[in-house]
Amino acid sequence: AEFRLSEFEKLRVLGHGNGGTVYEVRHRLTAAVYALKVVHTNTADASLRRQVYREVDILRRAAGSDRVVRFHGMAPTPSGDVALLLEHMDGGSLDALLRRRGYRPFPEPALAAVARQALLGLADLHSRQIVHRDIKPANLLINATGEVKIADFGVGKVLRRSLDPCDSYVGTCAYMSPERFDSESYGGDYDPYAADVWSLGLAVLELHRGHFPLLPKGARLDWAALMVVICFGEAARAVPEGAASSEFRGFLGCCLQKESRKRWSVAELLGHPFVAADYRAESEKALQDLLHEEMDES
Ligand code: ATP
Ligand code: MG
């Protein structure tokens, strides 16, 4: 074990996921606050155990990136589960932030800051041969200073040599790219880096629309409906004409290219005018304003 759970005091629940629960905890001695992700590995289902070791492996490989949630170690719990000690992102996830805003869309400059920082995170991951495979607003976290970081590597993967076409289905299907949807159904091959870019484009578009952008507001996300809109729809058209600047529309178009070969890479997107350095200070200020507006109201 890299730390002892008894050194920490549980403050509250931060979130729930498939595999477990995330708590806000305080180090008794230093009063420093962290997030503690407890994964229920103490089950007959060995896949959760494999998943948590994969997550830890990726968090270690990604150490040093300041756009990926920092990892401080793992420890067993008395009940036989595994706890991961993580940097606490005190603004929570972007989907929770959207909910706290009553689903009011994020303004464009704030979205530019989100997109830029998430792209920097993906660049760090992709340069280390890591694919996330579950990029969505719930897995993008923010702190009070407006820093956005990538979290939740429960289904991430380190690519070794060739791509593995037999890789089993993982991730949240709503954010899956068309080629991935297809390949999961037919056992084909796809570029997992390009698939992360699609998911990021969709996540940013969701924060712009205030709801999952490919279906009408409130619609149920069932497999058949998703298959139709992802594979046969035009995601890039989900931005109504006039509702966004041409830079923003262009950016979304580059992320949401249905054909993965035409989709821009993370490196290319970092040079897109929508996230260009000229507006960096302005967009980061817009994101901070949005965050503090929410904090004042709550
Ligand atoms: P998995 O997909 O591996 O089952 P999960 O969805 O159960 O993962 P996470 O996404 O890591 O777990 O965490 C669930 C939620 O807990 C997040 O959406 C977020 O609201 C909250 N959370 C997770 N990590 C942190 C953190 N470091 N700081 C603040 N909140 C966090
Ligand atoms: Mg998650």
> What pLDDT shows up at residue 167?
54
Q: Which of 15-19, 53-57, 148-152 has the lowest mean pLDDT?
A: 15-19
The DSSP string of 42-57 is -SS-HHHHHHHHHHHH
Q: How far is ligand 2, taken at its centre, from the CA of residue 242, in Å?
A: 33
pLDDT at 166: 44
pLDDT at 48: 83
**Ligand 2: centre distance to CA 139 (Å):** 5
Average pLDDT over residues 269-282: 92
Q: Is the distance from the beta carbon of residue 81 to the nearest atom of ligand 1 less than 6 Å?
A: no
* DSSP codes, 186-222: H-----HHHHHHHHHHHHHHHHHHSS-TTS-TT----
Q: Which residues contact 64 (CB under 8 A, 6 or more apart)?
A: none
**What confidence score (pLDDT) does residue 170 get?**
64
| Tens digits of residue pLDDT in 66-81 | 999 999 999 999 999 9
Q: What is the pLDDT at residue 297?
A: 65
Could you tell me what percent of the chain has a pLDDT over 90?
69
**Ligand 1 centre distance from Cα of residue 83 (Å):** 12
Cβ neighbors of 204 (< 8 A, separation 6 or more) are 111, 114, 115, 118, 251, 252, 255
Residues in the chain: 298
Per-residue pLDDT of 203-258, as tens digits, reads 999 999 999 999 989 888 888 888 889 988 888 777 877 889 999 999 999 999 99
Highest mean pLDDT among 5-19, 155-169, 225-239: 5-19
CA of 16, closest atom in ligand 1: 14
pLDDT at 187 over 80: no
Overall pTM surpassing 0.90 (yes/no): yes
Cα 103 to its chain centre, rounded Å, is: 18
User: How far apart (Å, rounded) are the C-alpha atoms in residues 2 and 36?
Assistant: 13
Active-site residue list: 134
Rounded average pLDDT over 181-196? 78
The more confidently predicted of residues 191 and 182 is 191
Whole-number Å distance, alpha carbon 51 to ligand 1 midpoint, is 14
Question: Do 288 and 275 form a contact (C-beta atoms < 8 A)?
Answer: no
More confident residue, 279 or 257: 257
Q: 19 CB under 6 A from ligand 1?
A: yes
pLDDT reading at 192 higher than 70? yes
Mean pLDDT of 112-140: 97
What dihedral angle (degrees, nearest 10) is formed by the CA atoms of 157, 162, 165, 167?
-30
pLDDT level of residue 183 (50, 70, 90 thresholds):
confident
Higher pLDDT, 203 or 49: 203
Residue 258 assigned to a binding site: no
Which candidate, 96, 79, 115, places its Cα nearest to that of 16? 96
Distance of CA 211 to the CA centre of its chain: 16
**In this model, does residue 162 exceed pLDDT 60?**
no
**8-16 β-sheet, strand order:** 8-16, 20-27, 33-39, 82-87, 71-76
Q: How far is CA 289 from CA 2, 273, 293, 297, in A?
A: 38, 22, 6, 12
243 vs 221: CA distance, rounded Å: 25
Q: Which ligand is nearest to the CA of 53?
A: 1
Alpha carbons 258 and 198: distance in angstroms, whole number: 9
By mean pLDDT, which of 17-26, 40-49, 114-123 is the weakest? 40-49
Determine whether the shortest distance from the Cβ of 139 to ligand 1 is under 6 A. Answer: yes
Q: How far apart are CA 287 and CA 146, in angstroms?
A: 6
How high is the mean pLDDT of the chain? 90
Query: Is the minimum distance from the CB of 97 to ligand 1 under 6 angstroms?
Result: no
Question: Phi/psi at 279 (nearest 5 deg)?
Answer: -105, 10
* Any ligand 1 atom below 6 A from CB of 33: no
Q: For 183, list phi and psi in degrees, rounded to 5.
A: -70, -30
